[in-house]
């Protein structure tokens, strides 16, 4: 069983602010993922500059295996000092971990990180370090498949102060909410969005502070092979399909002609579904041995729309897809479940599209835009043109 790390975050800007005072930076280098969540003093431009400097410097240094004391000293010495308060201030949480879940967590003045294991929240054991007079907490990480580390800015535990709640949302309530609402199989991105969304509700839609939640999850790798469109050379149909079917993981076929070719190769037929869960998305089909069969261009268009929302760090739409139309089923598989996606793109001109405003370049553009959004989500993407 191969493990990998996935990470995701969601940020809410303080009301009336163009820029967010929190910043999340992450670098994947070899087996290691380094993620930094920094929260700059105050809000707006100044906070944005402080958190950007902090997250960039820390992420670069930590990912290069530089000693944490040196990293923190660099931050404390390099941030500009506030004239009024005499402090150069950006709080931070740093996660540095390999694919097997081994690594460490450092925290300075952000709310304490939460470990979700087996669907229940718990605290990390922390060791206090003194660096240039500042208390920085260190935790050695040893996680297993399914574990999620959640870090947050203080906008989370201040959510709703004086509005919906007198004292804001305290850490035990945050943990209780996560205990009751995190479902097995949810991605890191879905968990971060879930928590940020409820904070936004507590702020009644106008956050009193920048609010950011980031999560890193240890999970099993899952590859999805997706075939769209028939290959140019009909003589080589079997060759291309054998290659598509040989790949590890789940198999998806998009498009009517592609479905027919694959079904013929597998010596079976395509059975159509007559359910229309979404009137804008054509119904799915079924081929024995294939995990999902959908229509082509219209479904891909809808999928691209869903991917734009999913990849947007400020979008609060739930990240798990429960609808049963082709685009939603594909979104759940590619955005939430897959860790890598391999596209097999046939460039043959589709006779069924004669006279319609659908050409091959449009299909290729759809695939390329979708691939770009999948990369933004942290997926590995491979495209073969046939």
Domain shared by 144 and 276, yes or no: no
Q: What is the pLDDT of residues 336-365, one digit of tens each?
A: 999 999 999 998 766 655 665 556 788 899
- pLDDT at position 350 is 63
Mean pLDDT of 275-295: 94
DSSP SS3 for 197: helix
- pLDDT at position 87 is 63
Nearest CA to 327 out of 298, 347, 363, 359 is that of: 298
Domain shared by 215 and 123, yes or no: yes
Distance of CA 5 to the CA centre of its chain: 11
Our count of domains for the chain comes to: 2
Domain shared by 171 and 270, yes or no: no
Rounded to the nearest integer, the mean pLDDT of the chain is 92
Domain final residue, candidates 220, 242, 273? 220
Rounded CA-CA distance 186/114 in Å is 16
Domain shared by 107 and 22, yes or no: yes
Out of 57-66, 154-163, 187-196, 220-229, least confident range: 154-163
Domain shared by 205 and 241, yes or no: no
Name the DSSP class of 336: I
Residues of the chain with pLDDT > 90, as a percent, come to 78
Domain final residue, candidates 220, 240, 256? 220
Residue 176 confidence (pLDDT) above 70 = yes
Domain shared by 176 and 239, yes or no: no
Domain final residue, candidates 204, 220, 236? 220
Domain shared by 198 and 266, yes or no: no
* Partners of 40 in beta bridges: 90
CATH number at residue 364: 3.40.50
Domain shared by 228 and 175, yes or no: no
Out of 165-179, 255-269, 318-332, 360-374, least confident range: 165-179
Domain shared by 145 and 161, yes or no: yes
- pLDDT at position 65 is 95
Out of 87-101, 195-209, 255-269, 344-358, least confident range: 344-358
Residue 235 confidence (pLDDT) above 90 = no
Domain with 42, as residue range(s), is 3-220
Rounded CA-CA distance 270/75 in Å is 60
Q: What is the pLDDT of residues 87-144, one digit of tens each?
A: 667 999 999 999 999 999 999 999 999 999 999 999 999 999 998 888 999 999 999 9
Residue 168: pLDDT band (50, 70, 90) is low
Share in percent of the chain as helix, strand, coil (round to 5) = 35, 30, 40
Out of 99-113, 185-199, 269-283, 345-359, least confident range: 345-359
What is the pTM for the complete model shown? 0.93
CB 142 within 8 A of CB 154: no
Residue 1 confidence (pLDDT) above 90 = no
Residue 170: pLDDT band (50, 70, 90) is confident
CB 21 within 8 A of CB 48: yes
Mean pLDDT of 65-85: 83
Domain shared by 28 and 133, yes or no: yes
CATH number at residue 129: 3.60.40.10
Residue 371 confidence (pLDDT) above 60 = yes
Residue 228 confidence (pLDDT) above 80 = yes
Domain shared by 141 and 20, yes or no: yes
Domain shared by 311 and 208, yes or no: no
DSSP SS3 for 2: coil
> Edge-to-edge, what's the strand order for the sheet holding 127-131?
22-29, 32-40, 90-98, 102-108, 134-142, 127-131
Nearest CA to 332 out of 226, 244, 251, 324 is that of: 324
Residue 82 confidence (pLDDT) above 80 = no
Mean pLDDT of 185-214: 95
Angular region, 228: left φ>0, alpha ψ -120 to 50, beta rest: beta
Mean pLDDT of 166-175: 83
């Amino acid at each position: 069983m191969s493990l990998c790390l996935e990470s995701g975050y969601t940020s809410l800007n303080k009301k009336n602010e163009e820029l967010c005072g929190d910043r999340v930076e992450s670098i994947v280098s070899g087996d290691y993922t380094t993620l930094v969540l920094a929260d700059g003093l105050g809000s707006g431009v100044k906070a944005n500059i402080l958190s950007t400097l902090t997250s960039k410097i820390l992420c670069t240094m930590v990912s290069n295996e530089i000693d944490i004391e040196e990293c923190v000293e660099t931050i404390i010495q390099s941030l500009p000092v506030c004239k009024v308060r005499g402090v150069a201030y950006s709080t931070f949480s740093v996660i540095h971990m390999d694919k097997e879940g081994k690594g460490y967590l450092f925290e300075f003045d952000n709310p304490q990180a939460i470990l979700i294991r087996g669907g229940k929240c718990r605290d990390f054991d922390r060791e206090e370090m003194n660096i240039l007079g500042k208390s920085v907490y260190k935790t050695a990480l040893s996680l297993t498949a399914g574990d999620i580390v959640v870090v947050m800015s203080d906008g989370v535990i201040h959510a709703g102060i004086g509005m919906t709640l007198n004292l804001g949302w305290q850490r035990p309530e945050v943990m209780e909410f996560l205990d009751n609402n995190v479902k097995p199989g949810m991605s890191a991105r879905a968990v971060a969005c879930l928590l940020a969304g409820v904070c936004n509700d507590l702020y009644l839609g106008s956050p009193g502070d920048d609010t950011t939640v980031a999560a890193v999850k240890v999970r099993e790798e899952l590859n999805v092979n997706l075939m769209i469109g028939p290959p140019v050379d009909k003589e080589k149909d079997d060759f291309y399909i054998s290659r598509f079917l040989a790949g590890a993981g789940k198999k998806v076929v998009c498009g009517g002609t592609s479905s027919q070719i694959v079904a013929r190769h597998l010596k079976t037929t395509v059975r159509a579904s007559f359910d229309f869960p979404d009137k804008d998305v054509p119904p799915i089909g079924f081929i024995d041995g294939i995990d999902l069969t959908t229509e082509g261009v219209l479904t891909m268009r809808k999928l691209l729309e869903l991917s734009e929302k999913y990849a947007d760090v400020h979008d609060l739409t739930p990240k798990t897809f429960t609808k049963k139309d082709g685009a939603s089923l594909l979104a759940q598989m590619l955005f939430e479940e897959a860790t890598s996606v391999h596209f097999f793109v046939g460039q043959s001109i589709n006779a069924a599209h004669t006279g319609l405003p659908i050409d091959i370049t449009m299909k290729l553009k759809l695939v390329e835009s979708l691939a770009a959004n999948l990369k933004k989500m942290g997926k590995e993407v491979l495209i073969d043109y046939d």
